[in-house]
Amino acid sequence: MMNSDRLPFARAVLATALLLASGLALASAPAAHPAAAPDKDEAKTLQQAKTYTVTTAPPESLELAAPKLPDLTGYTAQAVAAKIDRRKHGKVVVKRMLQEDVLKEFIGGDNKMAEWVTRQHGIPQAIFVEDGYVNLTELVQKLPKQYIRETAPGVYLARLPIVVGHNGIFEVDKQTKELRLSQEGGSFIVNDGKLFLRDTRVIGWREADNGPSTFRQPKEFRPFLLSWGGTETYMVNTVMASMGYNQSKSYGVSISQYTPNMTAQMGRGQPTGWIIGSTFSDMWYGFYCYETADFVVKSNTYHDNVIYGIDPHDRSHGLIIADNTVYGTKKKHGIIVSREVNDSFIINNRSYDNHLSGVVIDRNSVGNVVAYNKIYKNHTDGITLYESADNLLWGNMLLGNKRHGIRVRNSTNIRLYENKALGNGLTGVYGHIKDLSNTDRNIKLDPFDAQVSLILVGGELAGNGTGPLSIDSPLSVEMYRVSMLAPTKSSGISFTGILGDRQAEIMDLMVRQQKAVLIDPVERQTEMQD
């Protein structure tokens, strides 16, 4: 049943025949008291059945070629090494944090500077890498030990922020076994130029415990890494842990454009970079980006992070999130893209045992391809789509998630091809609408339409707790060659939502006649005819 090949139609037909022969009806069971008036739910179901029609279309009208995936072969450690320009030696200086544009986010209003005054016991300062290439080992040699020092061979403790200037190139490589960023000293890394972390470890460090600055409270400062607009950030074979807290741009590893006013002032393009073969744990967010272009997150492990594993956000695009393992996220989702994260690829990842969903597409994120992921044993859904139209889910495996295999809310033209949803707690595929007007959602910032439409082709829906499909009040549903076996309920295979009263007709068309099924509201058909 979990074989990667699609089950042949003969098995689906045989399973249906056996269910019918044993009296396990495909149609809805009759009411216990036929003469009784229907309750509100029954009346709604009957009304739905009256207002939707089931028709057929040529199967080829729903066929689609497999998505063309990006070539990942060029994203290697060797390619990162080739990007490092060491021809010009940079300089290392210690300057006051005040009046530095790159640090305004942390020393501006709301008495933010007090954090650093308290930690540094004076006017806040930072280490700056400027005008060329500097390696960490060289940086250490140029600074007093009260700012950064070697505590063991190859192990360094930084007690000030480290800032890579606009024309700076900063590298931490295998000569550094571990760079420890002091929580007590208020250390962090801000990149405004080019940053390379290769074959090393960067750890938030609590000096009082002589150990990592493990998470305790959301608002408690922990060291972090932030790369601003116009920057390049590359991490390869690096371990990062115990960083980030609930403060803007301080989430752990963040790649972010400047604020609109600062962007206009500084004229920076969108940040970019690669993170390859690295490990992130005990981070507030394992990865966060904002208005970022063409960033690659490949072959990493994100485990036991606090809020999210991987979280691209506002108006990022052209991202590649591929071949990552994400598990054990404590508060929310494994992988989420949210608020106009468009035209990106989430492919060949493994996302499991996360507190909420394995993968989420959220808040008007469109044009994304979610393909060939293995998403299992998450504590809510496998894949969740919220208010995000025009996305393609292809060849994903969704196993044993506690709620739905795939959940689609307020999203149209969602194409579900060759996915397998097996043994999930509720429905294999669940599509529904919801009015969010009376919630805390900012409708102006995050508009939505309470509409859902699905195209469901190929794949398998089997052994899910409440049935293979439930679709409520759709604009349209189109289905073809979907295998549905091994129902867990004694009533056999059963559909809910608008499919419930028409399931015998739908199954006959799909299974016996092997036709494409189109389910449309009557009013939509009338409009099309007009």
44 is written with which tokens?
Answer: 């709604």
Q: Which of 182, 209, 196 is nearest to 127 (CA)?
A: 182
Enumerate residues 6+ apart whose C-beta is below 8 A from 226: 105, 188, 189, 190, 191, 249, 250, 254, 255, 256
Residue 42 Rama label (left phi>0; alpha psi -120 to 50; beta): alpha
- Which residues face 70 on adjacent strands? none
Task: Name the CA dihedral angle for 105, 107, 112, 114, rounded to a multiple of 10 degrees.
Answer: 160
Block residue for tokens 């004229």: 267
* Residue that has been written with the tokens 């571990």 in this structure: 178
Dist CA 227 CA 231 (whole Å):
6
Helix (H, G, I), strand (E, B) or coil at 491: coil
The answer to whether the CB of 293 falls within 8 A of the CB of 314 is no
First to last CA, the chain: 45
Say if residues 347 and 321 touch (Cβ distance below 8 Å): yes
Of 313, 317, 404, 432, which one is the catalytic site residue?
313
Spatial CA neighbour of 105 closest among 251, 241, 205: 251
10 Å Cβ neighbour count for 421?
A: 29
Q: Mark whether 313 is an active-site residue.
A: yes
| DSSP conformational letter for 340 | S
In the DSSP assignment, the letter for residue 293 is B
Q: Are 197 and 237 in contact (CB under 8 A)?
A: no
Q: Which two tokens stand for residue 171?
A: 């590298």
Q: Answer yes or no: are the C-beta atoms of 219 and 246 closer than 8 Å.
A: yes
Gyration radius from the chain CA atoms = 27
Nearest CA-CA partner of 186 in 152, 154, 160, 212: 160
Long-range contacts of 247-250 (CB under 8 A, 24+ apart): 247/219, 247/221, 248/105, 249/105, 249/106, 249/224, 250/106, 250/188, 250/221, 250/224, 250/226, 250/284
CA 135 to chain centre: 33
Would you say how long the chain is, in residues? 530
> So which residues are the catalytic ones?
313
